[in-house]
Structure 1
Amino acid sequence: MTTEINNSTTEDIDEIFRLYRIATDFQKAKSAVHWPEFDRRMVLDEILENRQWKIEIDGKIACVWATTFSDPLIWEEKNEDPALYIHRIATDPDFRGQNLVAGIVRWAKDYAVLNRKKFIRMDTVGENKGLISYYEKCGFKFLGLSTLKNTEGLPAHYDNATVCLFEMKLD
């Protein structure tokens, strides 16, 4: 089995959106909070800026996510810290249960250090206790729940939502 982490390409955009739809359907089945239909231009920009990533297993996209080095609307004053922010992890159901988030975390540690970052951060919308526990098992500290002050420019699922914040401090 060959596993690789690479930047997503423009040829991957339909698969990325397929995985987002699957993730959204899964979220709808589990809770009231779910992802909206994401803006295709936003994802294309992430691809062109080398901020959209994929895990490929034997040539098939198993998981996708996006990164940024700035996230002021969610992290507010903490955005001043040198951090890597991970967003929108979506896994193909054929690859669930293979601990892909742990693989993302290993990759993110190296990528953050390479880019002189001291933290890896993530957020989720809604208080999903199972997801909180899973991210803690992956090495993140759960910082608690937050209500965002300004969601203008963020995807729709952030409007009037409670956000769980997660952080991993790097040595």
Structure 2
Amino acid sequence: MNELRVRIAHKELPNGIEAKQASNEDKSVIAHLLKETAQWLHSKGSSQWNELITDGELRGLSGSINRGEVFLFAENGEIAGMVMLLTEAGDWDKSLWGDTDAESVYLHKLITARSFKGTGLGKEILLWAEKGIEFEGKKQIRLDCIGTNAALNQFYLAAGYEYKGTLNGFCKYEKPLTQS
């Protein structure tokens, strides 16, 4: 686990949902959540995360868990959502951002389980990523999303993220971290 560079400051979200760093024992539930979300996106006509339906991106899941990049959110033992927070830019981030800013955290795979849709959990997870966890030496959080998803782009703008441009159909956003 990545205990030296990351510390969970708040283990509970305001709505009572618990946050934890994922372990290898969580791999199957994470894989299910990723596939479920990819299938839902596909049913809505989106090609986003299609590679997850065929296990394409799941091969790197164990490494992400072992590096301490995956965080789960649960209510009474039921997985409600997840997020991946990278303290070092991955290949995707490098290709999209063009730099490897050592002071940035890169947010990926912010997911709310379908059974928690409409509860505001996505916003709570995003706020937790900004304030509920502490990153040594990090000053900002970066993320990207597919440019054709207007609702998702508006979600990040409404959450205070600054639009930093579009590259290859993906919008880039950035926001200063405010440690609690």
Partner of 2:159: 138
TM superposition score normalised by structure 1: 0.80
Partner of 2:60: 42
Cα–Cα, structure 1 residues 169 and 31, in superposed 2: closer, same or farther, change >3 Å? Answer: farther
Is structure 2 residue 23 aligned with structure 1 residue 6?
no
Letter matched to residue 167 of structure 1: E
Aligned residues: 156
Superposition misfits of 4+ residues, deviation over 6 angstroms: none
Inter-partner Cα distance in structure 2 for 1:143 and 1:31: 26
Report how far residue 126 of structure 1 moved.
3.8
What are structure 1's unaligned runs of at least 5 residues? 148-161
Partner of 2:4: none
Tell me, yes or no, if the aligned pair for 2:163 and 2:172 is still in contact at 8 Å. yes
Inter-partner Cα distance in structure 2 for 1:15 and 1:93: 14
Tell me, yes or no, if the aligned pair for 1:69 and 1:84 is still in contact at 8 Å. yes
Residue deviations 1:115-165, cap 9 Å, x none? 221111111134211110112122212223112xxxxxxxxxxxxxx1111
Tell me, yes or no, if the aligned pair for 1:101 and 1:138 is still in contact at 8 Å. no
**Structure richer in helix, relative to its length:** 1
Report how far residue 74 of structure 1 moved.
2.1
Residue deviations 1:39-86, cap 9 Å, x none? 333111111111111111122110012111222222112x32511111
Report how far residue 113 of structure 1 moved.
4.8
What are structure 2's unaligned runs of at least 5 residues? 1-14
Q: Secondary structure at the match of 2:47?
A: coil
Tell me, yes or no, if the aligned pair for 2:111 and 2:122 is still in contact at 8 Å. no
Tell me, yes or no, if the aligned pair for 1:10 and 1:47 is still in contact at 8 Å. yes
Report how far residue 112 of structure 1 moved.
6.3
Cα–Cα, structure 1 residues 144 and 47, in superposed 2: closer, same or farther, change >3 Å? Answer: same
Tell me, yes or no, if the aligned pair for 1:84 and 1:112 is still in contact at 8 Å. no
Q: Secondary structure at the match of 2:98?
A: helix
How many percent identity over aligned positions? 23
Letter matched to residue 43 of structure 2: A
Q: Secondary structure at the match of 1:80?
A: coil
